[in-house]
Structure 1
Amino acid sequence: MSDSPFAHLRRMDLWSTFAVYLLAGWSSVRKAPRLRVNHKVYFSWGQAVREVMAEECPELHQWWTTRHYRENLQPPEHIAAQQQAVITWIETTLNAQHATCPRCGGTRTYRIKGIRPKFKCDPCVTCFSILSGTPLAGMIRAELWVDFMKGVMDGESIHDLKRRSGLGMGGSTRWREQFLLLIEALGHPELLGWITWMRSRRHNEVSTFARQGAHLDKATRSIYPQGTRKGRFVSQK
């Protein structure tokens, strides 16, 4: 042990637990408090584990490094399938031409013109939206939903989503929360975990980019007419 990277480290009883957390991808914010060690100890242990892993288990080290630093990471097949299922649900819902009336249960309904899936029932003269009861109920600009959702699933930050959609910071934040609720409602918890993982990857990319002295472009696209703000309307002359 004298020539090991662990030679000058203490608390041997916690090393194996620390290694499990490290391989699981836990951050220092989660690991350090649970093990009751400070961040200086955490980084010393992490360096020692990485050195031993690289020497004793090179294949494991390569696997872990690729995922830890989020390098060239493609979603596994089951995650890709869940991503496609969510996109398909949105597209199918927005393009639906038939619906069952929630009031009378009739199927003699027709779609009201517009992007949002609204319908009217002939027998009981009820107007309804098939988005009612879903996390997307009441949301505007349905033509942006699919592209925005793809950004969410790629782990993009709120600033990234703002640049992508033209929404403001508040709107981008609310939309992201609603789409995450939709993924949960559709029963894809693994996809939610993947999004969290990809979000941390994006954070690492931006941090590295900023440390190199570079700057991200500001959002210039806006869905609102120039000279107006959300909640205000241009007077019609």
Structure 2
Amino acid sequence: MEGEALTWDTRLKIAIEAAQGLTFLHNSEKSVIYRDFKASNILLDSNFNAKLSDFGLAKLGPINGFSHVTTRVMGTHGYAAPEYMATGHLYVRSDVYGFGVVLLELLTGLRALDPTRPSAQQNLVEWAKPVLSQKKKIQKMMDPRLEHKYPLLAVVRIAALILRCLEADPKNRPPMDDVLRELEIVRTIREEPKGERRKRGNGGSDNNRVSGRGLPHVRRTGRTG
């Protein structure tokens, strides 16, 4: 995973294709909850086509009008939804929380949890959530390896989407088909002309950024198709 950083368009492509996978699972005849959505369960081939892998923790969703299933907690800390970690109650939209964490990793190039970062920043979600609604501060949080080569409007919209995905109450999170639709809209937003962009800062040091191309822990298959 060492080398040139992933471009903005490639990061969006990965997010959209991962969202398509979750949407398919959630909307299947027997709704399936992935339960352990995280960056390392996204496989990339040599063309950066993304597929979900490792369905070992997947579970059938609630039936007979129930809102959730109750199960032993087996997700990954940092990605698992708070209601699941606290109670073992697993909702279809518990997956949406994990997806929001991965989106945040894509924006920042930082791991969900990293004990080598300053104490206030070790938990990416706790550190970033207060910043995501502040347009000027979002830019300082972006992965500096993107070199500001992204449409600011697209970043702002994704930041708002991440906040919705990370809502504490699963009922307030968007369903994955809404998430997918918003990402597809964001992909149509192109970079604004340089003459209209305000001069941006350097984005700070990247010493605590993930080593790799911009998405922590994704696995490359080296194959196409």
Tell me the TM-score normalised to structure 2 length. Answer: 0.29
- Name the structure where helix makes up a greater proportion of residues: 1
**Higher-RCO chain (CA-CA 8 Å, sequence separation at least 6):** 2
Tell me the TM-score normalised to structure 1 length. Answer: 0.28
